[in-house]
Structure 1
Amino acid sequence: MDRWGMTIPFFGRTPIESKALVAELPELGYTDAWSAEVAGTDGFVPLALAAEWAPGLRLGSAIVPVYTRGPALLAMSAATLADVAPGRFVLGIGASSPVIVRNWNAAEFDRPYARMRDTLRFLRTALAGEKVTASYETFDVKGFRLERAPATPPRIVLAALRPGMLRLAAREADGAITNWLSPGDVTRVRAELGEGVELIARLFVVVTEDADAARAIGRRLLAAYLTVPVYAAFHEWLGRGEVLRPMHEAWAAGDRQAAVKAIPDEVVDDLVVHGDAAACRARIREYVAAGLDTPVLAPLPGGPVSVEQAVRDLAPGLG
């Protein structure tokens, strides 16, 4: 089955304000709804609501950080969603970033690869209903057992941007989630992940034929993301280190406007899907042809087409 996902809640809307459009997603041809967790809604509540509003959708978190909840609480949240949407929930976990973990949540951001690996292994055991007493490399758990283990444990996928995490996802998880890449980049990511492992990516979309307007919207978001160290390292690995150097230098100097302006058009065009709806759908299919299993669309506000209309216009059944 070809998958075609949507990000919920929709930009500019609360989960409740998203209800009618979420309920419409299956009839539009969408197969998945994926949440996110940064500084807005949490990663679980929108999925719990969507489980009731659109019972045909597969639901996933992309992602919830492994540092901001204790291991047991993360297992409890995942078990709850797995019971609410049996066989339809995918738990996406990630290391997140020092800003979110340390600056906003007063937690230590230390040894992200090891913490991801340990959390994955703990969750596998806990969600299977087993009692966990174990000393992992980055934390200890003593005597935890879920009061109610889910009848169908959720699949677990890992946020992965570079070879080490991609290979961990291939070895021990059920898939990988990535972000901010071009169709050509998918080929490189897939080579590290290997075949037969689900690859999921959020694709930011601006439905407009005004390329300059779309690039202006995309540049602001790209500057905020690509200056985060994990994304900077990701794009260095993908070969964009030199072309993004002026942006990084301006950002480091505190000149945010110059950093935004320094992102070349070709980088925006690589990483942000834009054009009329038909062109956007064709571009999304380029990602799929390159090896992406599950595109998760995120229509951006600010263009002439409303987010609601963009969700409808980007439906896979339209061509």
Structure 2
Amino acid sequence: MSMRWGMTVPLGGVPLAGHAAVFSALADAGFTDAWSAEVNGADAFTPLTLAAAWEPRLRLGTAIAPVYTRGPGLLAMTAAALAETAPGRFQFGIGASSPVVAGDWNAADFVKPFARSRDMLRFLRAALAGEVVDQAFPTFTVKRFRLERPPAVPPQLLLAALRPQMLRLAAAEADGVILNWLSPADVHTALAETKQAGPGFAVAARIFVVPTDDAAYARTLGRRLITSYLTVPAYAEFHRWLGREEVLTPMWRAWESGDRRGALAAIPDPLVDELVVHGTPEQVRARVQAYADAGITVPVMALLPTPELERGGLPALTELISALGRPA
């Protein structure tokens, strides 16, 4: 069994103010980690700040904080504050995110994502160590910035990566990598690009899970997710690189023509089953372990809604957390 066992927070159906019970249930069930995402729900830091205060047994991570939506100084200050709140328990994951999140929703210019990610990684390494940063990076310039409260224990820096260039950057300059939208069989392909990483290199992966034995429901939800994510250019290129161009081309063609229903219908069941984990809680747990067996050091579930959760509310969620937890 993996030594690390993570869950994406916050969980749906529970207000942030009610998450003390959720964090406690996660730790009681054997979850070691709470990781946040940042798209258009909660920001990446508030849920983790609450977890830091309410549940000291959990390690924390962002997957991810985008490198475009905050200025360099603010990103460093926010990470430093959380690192001070949870000394030694915080891993700081950054990434390019997407043109929609950066540009359409946050009025940023989504240009040169590789260079921007590299420059932010280098800036954060220096800033979080308490250094004065006075440098013209290729994608931004910082003049005489120094954290007033540098953390006593700087967080490890992880970089979200999909294809070889970004994977190699993570191996060369980050403390770990964050993967997304891949199957256990794909892990070897991705990690082949990180061979130069040093010892202790963390490999986190966000894994979508639908814990229900209603396969039709899970596959319908999975198809919607696949059309939402794998039509984004970066993810489309990622899956071309992984060898899925033939199976995904019908979906891409239908999507580009505006045929949303046709795009959903073009996704075969085996592809959904590869990329979205579903089944009984025991089956889900075993499949997540398969990611760990393939080389993921921090498997992080992203729990999706199920009919059982919608009917059962918080008691059903608490029971499910226990069933999905890492066995002692």
TM-score, normalising length: structure 2: 0.94
Equivalent residue pairs, number: 318
Are 1:299 and 1:310, in contact at CA under 8 Å, matched by a contact in 2?
no
Q: Distance in 1 between matches of 2:321 and 2:304?
A: 10
* Per-residue deviation, 1:291: 0.8
CA RMSD, 1 decimal: 1.3
Q: What residue is the counterpart of 2:224 in the other structure?
A: 220
Q: What residue is the counterpart of 2:237 in the other structure?
A: 233
Are 2:25 and 2:321, in contact at CA under 8 Å, matched by a contact in 1?
no
Are 1:211 and 1:275, in contact at CA under 8 Å, matched by a contact in 2?
yes
Q: What residue is the counterpart of 2:312 in the other structure?
A: none
Q: What residue is the counterpart of 1:123 in the other structure?
A: 124
* Per-residue deviation, 1:19: 2.4
* Per-residue deviation, 1:198: 1.3
Q: Letter of the 1:69 partner, please give it.
A: R
Q: What residue is the counterpart of 1:5 in the other structure?
A: 6
Q: What residue is the counterpart of 2:326 in the other structure?
A: 316
Q: Distance in 2 between matches of 1:179 and 1:103?
A: 22
Identity %: 58
Say which is worse superposed, 302-311 or 164-173, in terms of deviation: 302-311
Give structure 1 stretches of 5+ with no counterpart: none
Q: What residue is the counterpart of 1:148 in the other structure?
A: 149
TM-score, normalising length: structure 1: 0.97
Are 1:81 and 1:89, in contact at CA under 8 Å, matched by a contact in 2?
yes
Q: Distance in 1 between matches of 2:25 and 2:218?
A: 26
Q: Distance in 2 between matches of 1:14 and 1:204?
A: 21
Q: Distance in 1 between matches of 2:260 and 2:295?
A: 35
Instruction: Choose from 227, 252, 263 the match for 1:248.
Output: 252
Q: Letter of the 2:246 partner, please give it.
A: E
Are 1:10 and 1:307, in contact at CA under 8 Å, matched by a contact in 2?
no
TM alignment of 1:269-280, pairs within 5 A: 269-280=273-284
3-state SS of 1:133 partner:
strand
Give structure 2 stretches of 5+ with no counterpart: 310-315
Instruction: State yes or no: 1:86 paired with 2:87.
Output: yes
* Per-residue deviation, 1:254: 1.4
TM alignment of 1:1-319, pairs within 5 A: 2-194=3-195, 196=199, 197-305=201-309, 306-317=316-327
Q: Distance in 2 between matches of 1:140 and 1:44?
A: 25
